[in-house]
Amino acid sequence: MHNYKIIVAYDGTRYKGWQNQKTTDATIQGKLEKILEKMTGRPIQIIGSGRTDAGVHAKGQTANFYLKDSYDEEELLEMFNQYLPEDIAALSVKEAGERFHSRFSAIGKIYRYRIHTGKIPEVFERKYVYSYNRPLDVERMKEAAEHMIGTKDFAAFCGNRHMKKSTVRSVYEIRFQETEEELQIIYNGNGFLQNMVRIMTGTLIEVGEGKKKPEDIPSIIASKNRERAGFTAPAQGLTLMEVKYH
């Protein structure tokens, strides 16, 4: 068996996420699997590094799949891009070691959340930003974000209320990039729970607009109570930028 690693970019606007329990048709994984099935004549499973929610974008989602025969990497790449819809692109396809697993081998992920803070609506990037259209107190948000750094139980920031596995994750860094019109928050961690980046962002926005205080964060985390954290920021502002491997 040959194990291939694929890096994928997508505009998540019209998809039900990377994967969906009810359908494969409107998922990115489903679109990729359909192409492999067409090529090989048999169903091939694609293993993603993790699911992205409906509407979330990616510039560096990573997945792997096994093929019985060996294929030229360049040919595989071209085939994907020939048959993928225009809102999904394969950025690279490389043969990986047999033991490479896009989820289990991942050591970190980088997400970016874009908030349009300018008063004039953003026309061209409108599907990739949260149109907040008001200023935020970024200094307060930075202070709050400091409390989110570290290895903690992030149950309060988990969108899955029936989560049975560990809700402990390590957040290495939360970086803010500001222009006059836009605030970007870049999250770097070993992994993120369902909706975690969006709930962290919603919480930081509530701090930035004065509804919560930076000092509230430690007790929100300690509560492990989703009700204590902020709102779930809209999916469209979020992009999975990179999945890191050794």
When the beta carbons of 109 and 116 are compared against its own copies, the nearer one is 116
Q: Are 33 and 47 in contact (CB under 8 A)?
A: no
Parallel, antiparallel or unpaired: strands 108-116 and 130-131 = parallel
Helices 73-83 and 28-40, packing angle to 10 deg: 120
**CB of 7 or CB of 207, closer to its own copies:** 7
The answer to whether 53 is a known catalytic residue is yes
Q: Spell out where the chain has E strands.
A: 2-10, 47-48, 57-67, 88-96, 108-116, 130-131, 150-153, 168-178, 182-189, 238-244
Partnered with residue 243 across adjacent β-strands are: 109
Asked if 141 and 204 touch (Cβ cutoff 8 Å), the reply is yes
| Residue ranges in contact with its own copies by CB under 8 A | 9-11, 57, 59, 77, 81, 84, 86-91, 119-124, 126, 128, 131
Nearer to its own copies, 86 or 227 (CB): 86
At its nearest, how many Å lie between its own copies and the CB of residue 225? 35
**Quick one: the chain helix, strand, coil %, rounded to 5?**
30, 30, 45
**In the complex, least distance from residue 14 CB atom to its own copies, rounded to whole angstroms:** 12
Q: How far is the CB of 238 from its own copies (least distance, A)?
A: 13
- Residue nearer to its own copies on the CB measure, 87 or 153: 87
d(CA 83, CA 159): 34
Contact 33, 24 (CB under 8 A): yes
Which of the residues 25, 53, 153, 216 is marked catalytic?
53
What minimum distance in Å lies between the beta carbon of 74 and its own copies?
A: 10
User: Are the C-beta atoms of 127 and 55 separated by less than 8 Å?
Assistant: no
| Min dist. Cβ of residue 246 to its own copies (A) | 25
For its own copies, the closer of residues 69 and 86 by Cβ is: 86
Residues assigned a catalytic role: 53
